[in-house]
């Protein structure tokens, strides 16, 4: 699975969560996504869901995608 990074802000948000929450960063992103969905904010929901997936990729020691 290749993770699409939509913006520098998304990458910054992912890195900040990792720095602050460590191994629980993905869970924090999921909580923020659920909060946005509960408020009806679809754009922020999608933003935090993307970050949740990005954190999984950033935290992985395994290469992802094609290796050249």
* pLDDT tens, position by position, 5-57: 788 999 999 999 999 999 999 999 999 999 999 999 999 999 999 999 999 88
Secondary-structure percent of the chain, ordered helix, strand, coil, rounded to 5: 70, 0, 30
Q: How far is CA 38 from CA 3, 10, 42, 56, in A?
A: 25, 21, 9, 23
pTM of the model: 0.82
């Amino acid at each position: 699975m290749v993770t699409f990074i939509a913006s520098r802000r998304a990458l910054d948000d992912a890195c900040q969560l990792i720095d602050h929450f460590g191994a629980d960063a993905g869970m924090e992103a999921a909580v923020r996504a659920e909060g946005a969905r509960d408020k009806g904010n679809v754009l922020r929901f999608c933003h935090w869901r993307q970050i949740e997936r990005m954190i999984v990729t950033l935290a992985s020691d395994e290469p992802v995608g094609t290796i050249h």
